[in-house]
Amino acid sequence: LTLEEEDVLELEGFAEQSAGNLISAIQDSKRTELWRFLYALGIPEVGTQTARDL
């Protein structure tokens, strides 16, 4: 899936800056630390410290 800033600009309510911010946030979300991902899965008994230890 490829999403370009021009695609977002076509949507109602998106100006150039907000479209750029959205694309940037999506790109940043692709580079997360493993422990944050493990914690976000919501596995019982796996809190932030356990996720970091793994």
Tens of pLDDT, residue by residue over 5-29, are 888 998 898 898 999 999 999 998 8
The total number of structural domains in the chain stands at 1
The pTM of the full predicted model, rounded to 2 decimals, is 0.58
pLDDT at 33: 93
- CA–CA separation, 51 and 41 (whole Å): 10
Distance separating alpha carbons of residues 16 and 45, to the nearest angstrom: 43
- Give the whole-number percent of the chain exceeding pLDDT 70: 100
Domain with 15, as residue range(s), is: 5-53
**DSSP summary character for residue 2:** -
With vertex at residue 39, the alpha carbon angle to CA 49 and CA 45, rounded to the nearest 5 degrees, is 65
Q: Where are the alpha helices (DSSP H) in 1-54?
A: 5-9, 16-29, 34-40, 48-53
